[in-house]
Amino acid sequence: MPGTLSVLLVGAGGAWGRPLLEQFIKQKSSFKRVAVLARDQNHAEKFSDAKAQGVEIVLGSFLDSAPYKGFDVVMSLVGNPLLRLQPAMIQAASAAGVTHFYPGEWNSDIDQPEIANMRYFRDKQATRAQCHATAQENPNFKYTIFITGIFTEWTLMFGWDHEKKSAVVFGDSSKRIGSTSIPDIARYTVDSLLIPFKADGGAFPNRRTIRAQGGSKPYGELVADLEEARGMKYSVEYRDRAEALKLQEQARQQGDEAGEMFWSIRTLPASGYGVADGVEEGKLDNDLFDFTPETQKETFERFWSGQK
């Protein structure tokens, strides 16, 4: 049966947007329209391959209502520097008649009080607040918060030197880290549009939270998975998270936003809070979907095959 939903992706050319767009192309027949937003004709060139496979290209600014007209669903895949503009994007989309919004989430469970005020997630929290306020004003507006833990391919990245096989990590090797592979997150996300929308309820009648995760284990065991996948040993130095927080504050005082974000996120992976099932350990929504995700080790084996 041909799909009925029209979906617009904002930021589809980015690190996360690309694999998600590829998954939408694979499942295109399940949707009425799949489109990407490009800011101008030059930007649109980036999507010529997707266009050849039936993806529409809509030109315009994500701050205007016009590009959103005629779409049921909008997913925001913009990167860190643009996250602070998402509330304006939500207002414009809602005014244009969009009824289902996916804000830029796909991260750890930021409901956990221990990371709710982390600098890295500041604009994501403001975006959640805007979604909630918009839903209160417009009962037709609903939204999905997609929680996946860290992208497995990105877990051992910042602070890691894979040529020298060494790393500096701020945290503790015994703390749990949860993650999901990028292809699986793309599949979960596309499939989530094809299952019934079940709202969280209570104070959030228009919000649906989905927690899906490929696996979780102590950080040190994830490092062992990497070592086995690559067939080589790494030298990993664990330092106090307070050191990174000090560097984050220095960056803030210097007006260096990228630095603030960098040092902030360095404190997450080995903190115990970089997980999708943070609020209630083990409580996940994987069983809403009909596939088994890659384990963390399987992702490393795939990612590093041919790169050893």
Ligand X SMILES: NC(=O)c1ccc[n+]([C@@H]2O[C@H](COP(=O)([O-])OP(=O)(O)OC[C@H]3O[C@@H](n4cnc5c(N)ncnc54)[C@H](OP(=O)(O)O)[C@@H]3O)[C@@H](O)[C@H]2O)c1
Minimum CB–partner distance for residue 125 and ligand X (Å):
12
What stretch of H or E contains 22? helix 17-26
Minimum CB–partner distance for residue 227 and ligand X (Å):
21
Task: Return the residue of 94, 99, 107, 206 that touches ligand X, per CB under 6 A.
Answer: 107
Binding piece for ligand X, criterion CB under 6 A, among 39-47, 134-142, 210-218, 232-240: 39-47
Residue with Cβ nearer ligand X (70 or 79)? 79
Based on the shown chain and the rule CB under 6 A, indicate whether residue 106 belongs to the binding site for ligand X: yes
Minimum CB–partner distance for residue 109 and ligand X (Å):
11
Secondary structure of residue 271 in the 3-state scheme: coil
In the chain, how long is the greatest CA-to-CA distance?
56
Binding piece for ligand X, criterion CB under 6 A, among 64-72, 104-112, 213-221, 232-240: 104-112
Based on the shown chain and the rule CB under 6 A, indicate whether residue 62 belongs to the binding site for ligand X: yes
Minimum CB–partner distance for residue 149 and ligand X (Å):
7
Residue with Cβ nearer ligand X (151 or 308)? 151
Minimum CB–partner distance for residue 285 and ligand X (Å):
17
Based on the shown chain and the rule CB under 6 A, indicate whether residue 219 belongs to the binding site for ligand X: no
Q: Record the tokens describing residue 37, joined without a space.
A: 């937003």
Distance of alpha carbon 55 from alpha carbon 32, whole angstroms? 11
The values of phi and psi at residue 242, to 5°, are: -60, -30
The values of phi and psi at residue 166, to 5°, are: -140, 160
User: DSSP secondary structure string, 226-248?
Assistant: HHHHHTS--EEEEE-HHHHHHHH
Which residue in 266, 294, 135, 113 sits closest to 200, CA to CA? 135
The residue number whose beta carbon is nearest to ligand X equals 14
For residue 82, give Cα distances in angstroms to 10, 76, 88, 126, 258: 11, 10, 11, 13, 12
Minimum CB–partner distance for residue 19 and ligand X (Å):
9
Based on the shown chain and the rule CB under 6 A, indicate whether residue 130 belongs to the binding site for ligand X: no
Residues 150 to 189: which contact ligand X by CB under 6 A? 150-151, 154
| Cβ–Cβ < 8 Å for 8, 74 | yes
Distance of alpha carbon 167 from alpha carbon 233, whole angstroms? 11
Task: Return the residue of 79, 113, 201, 205 that touches ligand X, per CB under 6 A.
Answer: 79
| Polymer length of the chain | 308
Binding piece for ligand X, criterion CB under 6 A, among 21-29, 101-109, 213-221, 228-236: 101-109
Q: Which residues bind ligand X (CB under 6 A)?
A: 10-11, 13-17, 37, 39, 43, 46, 62, 77-79, 82, 104, 106-107, 150-151, 154
